[in-house]
Every structure is written in structure tokens, then in C-alpha cells.
Structure 1
Amino acid sequence: MILFTFNIVNIEADSKNGVQISDEERLKISENNTKAILRILDIHDVKASFFVEISIAEKLQNLIKAISSQGHEIAFYNKNSALHEIEETKKSVQDFLEKQIRGIRQKDHKLPHEDLKMLEFNYVSNIDNANILFPFKRLKRDTEITEEDGVSIVPESISPYSQLPYNDFVFQILPMKYYQNMVFETLKNDDFVLIYLNSWQFTDFSKYKFDIPFFRRLNSGKKMEDKLDALLTWINEKELATSRMKDYIF
């Protein structure tokens, strides 16, 4: 099973040459990038899970409704929000969606599983920092879903052959043919492959002058759209199964 997930997060990088890019502009960029992702998923009839960063969730009500109405899962991405902020946002989003939010994703700021269970989350999908040195840091990982304090723990996927994780950085830099082979070989060994990308990777950095490393500009914007389109085309041609996170886990 292939689990496609997308983190809806604003770009945090400073802008070049002292040009100010407001929070409203950053939010609009995230919204437009997410709409591009939705168009590609719709073309290939693939359903995914979208992890919306908690601090911007209530500002994106129309986008969240659109994502949900197209059959995708809404979950949360916790960057550094306090427990009470997560609780308030969860209640608000569930009220206007009239659906329960089951999943949460964390990276740097990780809350205890018992706190997440108290907020009625059913699963947590934690991720690590992805940078240019990651291949030297992570060579082995448990890839099975476990349970702790009543919460399902979904690990990042890692190729048993190349030892590369399926994070946003790997997707952005690897040639598509190599990535496809990695997915195919991993599915022979593991029950699922969890792929995650960030909405900011679909930004046109020739238009928006953010100060980001050169290796993060590679294959961004329209090239990311083309890579996602190519991967989904290949998945459908090979008749590989895809699923939303909550459907696969439960």
C-alpha cells in the first residue's frame, strides 16, 4: 500500500534583498501550492492525507473544506503549538468539517502520546528533519506500525535496499526512475510505503525570492508538480494500491 501525505506549512525562510513577504502572502502561496497538488491527485483519482499546520488551520477553512470535499483526509501538523492550542483548533476544525480529526504529525516539538490520546487522536505520524546529511545519520529503522498509550504510531518508511527514507528531500532530488524502483522494491518487503511532501516545495522560487539553499530549490515549483504527476501515472499503470492514512490504519 502507498500512503501519500502532504504537509501544508508556510515557508519560514527569509526573503532575499530585504524584500518583505507578509504572512498573508506566505499563506496564499501555501494555498495555491495545495490547490496544484489537489489538481494532480484529482487527475489520477488518488486520495491522500493532508497534515495542516495548526497555527494556520483556521485561516484556511475554505481550503480545508475543499480538500475534505474531494475525499482526502484532514489531519494536523504540530510545529510548536501548546496542548490547549491543539485542542481548540481540533474542536474548531471538526465543527466546521463535521468530521473527526484522527491523525497528527510532529517533528521537532513532540507531545507525549498520552496527551494526544486525551485529545482523541487515533494515530501519530512523526517525521525527522530532512537535510543534505541525512544518509549518514539513519541507516536502519523499524517500519512497522505499533501502538502506545492507545495511539497508533506510524513510522517513516525507509527503503530496505538503498536505506533512503521516503521524505520530502529524497523525492525532490532523486531521479524519478530510481525513486519508482525504490518504491517497487520496498513494497516487496514492507506492507506500506509512507511518502510525505511539503506544500512549500511546489513554490515557484523564480517568482518568490526566498532565501533557501540551492539544493532545496532544485526540482521545486512546476518541476515538483511534474514529478508528482509522473509518480502517480506510474502507480496507476502498475495498478499499485494507494490509501489515506486513517483508512489503512483502521
Structure 2
Amino acid sequence: MVLLSFDIEEFDMPFEYDRVISFEEQIRISTEGTLTILDLLKKNNLKATFFCTVTFAKNAAAVIRRIVAEGHELASHGYYHSEFKNEHLLSSRLALEEISGQQVSGYRMARMMPVDEKEIKEAGYIYNSSINPTWLPGRYNNRHISRTWFMQSGVIQLPASVSPLTRFPLFWLSFHNLPLWFYIHLARKTYEKDGYLNIYFHPWEFTDLRNRERFGFPGYVSKNSGRQMIARMDKFMKWINKRNYRNGTITEFIQQVTIE
């Protein structure tokens, strides 16, 4: 099964590059990108899981209603994108359930940072998708962690997909920077090996990020953003359908593998 997920949040990433962006612009850019994603999913008849912060959900209620109405899954990405306390695990789940009217079963920590599995369990989540099981300088050192899903502390851990053997990450940055044919090659190899793909993106990638003065992003972040990202994602979604790969939400996948 191909598991497409999108981390929808207040667009605060420019702060990491010493740029200032108003809260209104953070919400506007993420809203624009999320609507584009929903249009692509509808066009290609695919489902996805949206990991959402409460801050974004409260300021984009119409977007959340559309996510739910079109059969996608809403999961928690925390209360805020740049602030975390253990109590946010429970409070974000409850707030998102109230806003959406949908059960929230999954959690993903902002920036795929570590989170205590026992705290995840106590907050009432079924699964956690906060692990990138690879090595990236200054960010991840997780080569010792299983590439594929596993149970820990009563919670299903669903790492982001990485390629077999080399553990090359198939996350958003590689989608932007690799030739699309090669990304698809790695995705196919990983799917054939693991029986599923778990890959994630963000709404702001679907807007033009090339204004370095405004955002401060290096080329490897802004490359193939905006219209190019939309075109690449459309081609990728068409490839999923052409291969007749199964697609669904993460909860649907969890239900499948736990029954088996």
C-alpha cells in the first residue's frame, strides 16, 4: 500500500533561516498548498493522511472540513509546530477530534524529532510515525532502528520509508532533488521489498519557495517547488495508479497489518 502523508502546519520554517514571516502569511501559504494537494488527490483518486497542528486547524477550519469530507485521515502533528510539551500529545488529539469530528489515531512529531513511546500510548494514540530510519548529518542518526513498522510500548511505530540496503530516505527533500525517474526507481524497489511506502511532504512545497531574500532557503530546499512540485507530484500519483499499487490512509494500513 502507498501511504501518502502531508504535514500541515503553520509555515514557520523561514525562522530556521533567520527570516521573519507573519502568522497570517504562515497560514495563508500552508492553506494554499494544502488545497493544491487536495486537488491533486481528488484528480488522481487517491487518499492520504494529514498530520495537522492544532494551530493550523483552528485557523483553517474550511480546509479541515474538506479533508474529512473527501475521505482522508486527520492525525496529530502537535499543538504548535515549534513548541512541544508532553501534555500537547493529549491536548492536540482532543482538540483535533473536536475540530474535525473524526477519531485521531496517529501522531508525528514536528521535524520528525524523537518522542517518548510511552507518552504516545498514554495519550491514546494507536500509531506513531515520527522516525526517519536513516542517517542525515545534524538531523537523524537512526540507522539502528527498523526500516519497517514494528510494535513498541503498545504503539505501532511506522518509520518513514527508506530504500533497502543503503537506507536512502524517500522523504520530501529527495523528491525535490533527485531526477523523478530515479526517485520512482527507489520507490518501486522499496515497495517491492517492504510491501508498502510511507512518504511525507508539506503544503508549502507546492508554493514557490525560490525567493531567497524572503525565505532564506538554500537551493536544495527550494528546488522544484511551486508549479514544478505540482507537476512532479501529479506524475508520481499517476505512476502509483499505473502500477496498480494499493493506496489508503495510514489507519487503513494499520488495520490491515494488525489483522494479518
Do these two structures clear the TM 0.5 threshold for a shared fold by scoring above it? yes
Distance 2:217 2:136 in 1: 13
Q: State whether residues 201 and 221 of structure 1, in contact with CA within 8 Å, keep that contact through their aligned partners in structure 2.
A: yes
Q: What do the CA deviations read for 1:29-80 (whole angstroms, capped 9, x no partner)?
A: 0000010011001000000001113443322222111111111110111343
Q: Number of aligned pairs?
A: 249
Q: State whether residues 7 and 50 of structure 1, in contact with CA within 8 Å, keep that contact through their aligned partners in structure 2.
A: yes
Distance 1:249 1:224 in 2: 29
Equivalent residue of 2:77, what SS? strand
Q: Which residue of 2 aligns with 1:104?
A: 107
Q: What do the CA deviations read for 1:90-129 (whole angstroms, capped 9, x no partner)?
A: 2222123222100000246533222211221100001349
1:125 aligns with 2:129: yes
Which ranges of 4 or more aligned residues in structure 1 deviate by more than 3 Å? 14-18, 107-111, 127-134, 136-141
Q: Which residue of 2 aligns with 1:234?
A: 239
1:235 aligned partner, one-letter code: I
Quote the offset at 1:165 in angstroms: 1.2
Question: How does the TM-score come out when normalised to structure 1?
Answer: 0.88
Equivalent residue of 1:13, what SS? helix
1:156 aligned partner, one-letter code: A
Equivalent residue of 2:120, what SS? helix
Q: State whether residues 76 and 96 of structure 2, in contact with CA within 8 Å, keep that contact through their aligned partners in structure 1.
A: no
Equivalent residue of 2:200, what SS? strand
**Residues 111/139 of structure 1: CA separation in 2 closer, same or farther (3 Å cut):** closer
Q: Which residue of 2 aligns with 1:81?
A: 84
1:49 aligns with 2:49: yes
Distance 1:98 1:233 in 2: 31
Equivalent residue of 1:242, what SS? coil
**Residues 144/138 of structure 1: CA separation in 2 closer, same or farther (3 Å cut):** closer
1:4 aligns with 2:4: yes
**Residues 84/165 of structure 1: CA separation in 2 closer, same or farther (3 Å cut):** same
Quote the offset at 1:169 in angstroms: 0.7
Distance 2:181 2:210 in 1: 26
Q: State whether residues 40 and 234 of structure 2, in contact with CA within 8 Å, keep that contact through their aligned partners in structure 1.
A: yes
Quote the offset at 1:162 in angstroms: 5.2
What residue ranges of structure 1 are gaps of 5+ in the alignment? none
1:216 aligned partner, one-letter code: V
Question: How does the TM-score come out when normalised to structure 2?
Answer: 0.85
Distance 1:152 1:168 in 2: 23
Q: Which residue of 2 aligns with 1:200?
A: 204
Q: What do the CA deviations read for 1:160-208 (whole angstroms, capped 9, x no partner)?
A: 1553111111111111111111111222211211111122212212569
Q: State whether residues 132 and 159 of structure 2, in contact with CA within 8 Å, keep that contact through their aligned partners in structure 1.
A: no
2:244 aligned partner, one-letter code: E
* Aligned ranges 1:1-250 → 2 under 5 Å: 1-9=1-9, 10-14=11-15, 21-78=21-78, 79=81, 80-106=83-109, 107=111, 109-128=113-132, 142-160=146-164, 163-206=167-210, 209-250=214-255
Considering Cα pairs closer than 8 Å and 6+ residues apart, tell me whether 1 or 2 has the greater RCO: 1
**Residues 15/222 of structure 1: CA separation in 2 closer, same or farther (3 Å cut):** farther
Question: How big is the alpha-carbon RMSD for the aligned residues of Structure 1 and Structure 2?
Answer: 2.8
